[in-house]
Structure 1
Amino acid sequence: MKLVRTEDAVGQVLCHDITQIIKGVTKDAVFRKGHVVTEKDIPVLLSVGKDHLYIWEKEEGMLHEDEAAQILYDICGNTFMHPSEIKEGKIELIADCDGLLKVDTEKLNRINSLGEMMIASRHGNFPVKAGDKIAGTRIIPLVIEAEKMEHAKKVGGGVPVFGILPFIKKRAGLVITGNEVFHGRIRDTFSPVIEEKLAEYQVDIVGKEISDDQPERITECIQKLLGQGADLILCTGGMSVDPDDRTPLAIRNTGAEIVSYGAPVLPGAMFLLAYYGEDRIPVMGLPGCVMYARRTIFDLVLPRVMAGEILEKKDLDILGEGGLCLSCPVCTFPNCGFGK
């Protein structure tokens, strides 16, 4: 950096904050380090006693924080998102649509380990809405070696750190099981819960079937809804290991491929996920906890299904850490540790 007369500093980059103190009014930085001095800034700088300024000298092989910040955004940014204005080496990523946030965690960690730059984000595999802040990035020093930013680009490998999978409109079919509901002994209280959760997405319910506990009947109900054009099947109840809980058998008998029966999540350990046919139509078996617990494994899996992801068993197997809902008196999900 070098010292110059303030009147000669137009177009130069400040190397430090300039503080303005007005008794009883303000004590704050009127200009931040990295600010590019303009003609209209000169009277303000003189009014705070700055006859001379320390400015950044352009050096071969060095980048200003804002130049480097743009490179960092290029490493992170993807379709369905846009950058905020660059300020003091900082850029935020903003979602352009509702969808599922995807994060390349390994790449994120590798870039953060390089030093002098940082990326902080939301957790991946959770929903975001248009206008939501996805991540914030920053170059730490005022200037950074161009070589270091080139290395960061190599780590990025040309594939963005973040992505958004827009939610897909689906047609859902509900199969409510249980002799007690089928014979009218009790009221169906499961459907309203499922319908409320589906209402958060673009879902049309094409039909609802109520079945007794006979697996043949449950299988028929699933196939009927598939015939009506359902591309998402949700079966409620009959998911435990009790001899008379036959929903898993009924789902298997449709010819659907079982991905997993059971998951390391509480509530929701008896959850079942399967896919039917060449179109890989999701078929879920929802245990009773989905009806009475505020948040369960269904809340973790549904957004990914609505984004069109085809989940594998390993996607469920890794949910154990963070898979314990604490049933807080006031639920703040997803702003909590559940699923993370």
Structure 2
Amino acid sequence: MKFGDIELDAALGARLAHTVRLADRVLKKGAVLDRDAIDSLRISGRTQVAAAMIEPDEIDENEAASRVATAIAGPGLDVSAATTGRADLVATDNGLLVIDRAAIDRVNFIDEAITVATLPPDVPVAAGEVVATIKIIPFALQSTLLDQLPTGAIELRKLHPLRALLVQTESNATKQSVLDKTREVTELRLKALGSSLVGETRCTHEIKSIAEAIVTADVDLILLVGASAIVDRRDVIPAAIESVGGVIERYGMPVDPGNLLLLARYGTIPIVGMPGCARSPALNGIDLVLRRLAAGLPLDRMVIARMGVGGLLP
């Protein structure tokens, strides 16, 4: 792309580099100079204009933005019409935003002329929300730069309704108001993800009582919160899970608040031993786990281990 001061005689079809205000009109930055625009510039006394001339092997900024956006858009996303070198990816439904970070890095590494900015990964988004924007910095770029674009790097995962059971253990010191508040907060947390709390069991903080609640559950998800926090893999709640043949997949997560979360399974039913902070509606580790479960995304000890970057929650 040729860029700089161009003689008006050679400026037909060039892109105006900066907005020019004339006596009778305003020529905006990026405008393609036609004969009328050039005549207006001559009348104003100019002989040159700061502009960019696109070469035959280059593509226009809007075409480039559209091509990048179309390539990286996966299921659940629409591509907006490109203007001024910018195209957006827009959610077509409510869901969880899933991003291949390495793929987006590859796009941004291609050339400084190509930029992709996204929302943080693994966050719930609403229909119509802009989840990423693609901006081409110059007016044009070499078409060959787009030959190796990754595909489907950003997608929207629909949230599937989960039927959850809340099991709360209690001791002599447990206040019923605390249990009531925990149920209310949990209901709201699940509702925000399109899921529901279909039952609650309150039992003593003992292995046998917790085990009975687990084996009689007919749900998609079991949420366990104890009268006291889980402090070890051999504590009461994990011991109750293992006593009925359940498997402890991960105890502890690199997310704060939420460090003391337990992930387990009883057959095909995921079990989450909730940290004490889950009694609060504030963002914490349980939200990160529930989002992935509702979106049907893999969730195991390695996935949780990778949550450390960004795991210090506000």
Matched residues in 1 for 2:248 and 2:233: separation? 19
Question: Given the two structures, how large is their TM-score scaled by the length of structure 2?
Answer: 0.84
Instruction: After TM superposition, give the deviation of residue 225 of structure 1 in Å.
Output: 2.2
Size of the aligned set, in residue pairs, is 307
- Of the three residues 52, 66, 78, the one matched with 1:82 is 78
Matches within 5 A, 1:53-68: 59-68=55-64
Asked whether 1:268 is paired with 2:258, we answer yes
The runs of at least 4 consecutive aligned structure 1 residues that moved more than 6 Å come to 50-55, 181-186
Matched residues in 2 for 1:101 and 1:49: separation? 52
Partner of 1:25: none
Instruction: After TM superposition, give the deviation of residue 29 of structure 1 in Å.
Output: 6.5
- Of the three residues 181, 205, 221, the one matched with 1:232 is 221
Unaligned 5+ runs, structure 1: 23-27, 326-337
- Of the three residues 309, 321, 333, the one matched with 2:309 is 321
Of the structure 1 ranges 181-190 and 289-298, higher mean CA displacement relative to structure 2 is found in: 181-190
Partner of 2:215: 223
Instruction: After TM superposition, give the deviation of residue 18 of structure 1 in Å.
Output: 3.1
Q: Is the 8 A contact 1:239 1:245 kept in 2?
A: no
Matched residues in 1 for 2:270 and 2:286: separation? 13
Q: Alpha carbon RMSD of aligned pairs, Å?
A: 3.4
Q: Is the 8 A contact 2:54 2:140 kept in 1?
A: no
Unaligned 5+ runs, structure 2: none
Matched residues in 2 for 1:109 and 1:165: separation? 21
- Of the three residues 64, 69, 73, the one matched with 2:65 is 69
Question: Alignment partner of 1:134: what SS?
Answer: strand
Partner of 2:128: 131
Instruction: After TM superposition, give the deviation of residue 240 of structure 1 in Å.
Output: 2.1
Matched residues in 2 for 1:102 and 1:200: separation? 18
Q: Is the 8 A contact 1:179 1:213 kept in 2?
A: yes
Matches within 5 A, 1:33-52: 33=30, 35-36=31-32, 49=44
What fraction of aligned residue pairs are identical, expressed as a percent?
27
Q: Is the 8 A contact 1:80 1:96 kept in 2?
A: yes
Could you give the per-residue CA deviations for residues 300-334 of structure 1, whole angstroms, max 9, x where no partner exists?
22111111112121111122333234xxxxxxxxx
Partner of 1:18: 19
Matched residues in 1 for 2:57 and 2:308: separation? 46
Amino acid at match of 1:133: V
Could you give the per-residue CA deviations for residues 10-61 of structure 1, whole angstroms, max 9, x where no partner exists?
xx35242332368xxxxx974221x34689x859956994888677655332
Instruction: After TM superposition, give the deviation of residue 223 of structure 1 in Å.
Output: 2.2
Partner of 1:210: 202
Question: Alignment partner of 2:110: what SS?
Answer: coil
Q: Is the 8 A contact 1:181 1:188 kept in 2?
A: no
Instruction: After TM superposition, give the deviation of residue 183 of structure 1 in Å.
Output: 9.8
Amino acid at match of 1:270: L
Amino acid at match of 2:126: K
Question: Alignment partner of 1:112: what SS?
Answer: helix
Partner of 2:109: 113
Matched residues in 1 for 2:63 and 2:178: separation? 66
Asked whether 1:193 is paired with 2:181, we answer no
Matched residues in 2 for 1:314 and 1:270: separation? 16
Q: Is the 8 A contact 1:32 1:88 kept in 2?
A: no
Partner of 1:287: 275
Q: Is the 8 A contact 2:223 2:273 kept in 1?
A: yes
Question: Given the two structures, how large is their TM-score scaled by the length of structure 1?
Answer: 0.78
Question: Alignment partner of 2:293: what SS?
Answer: helix
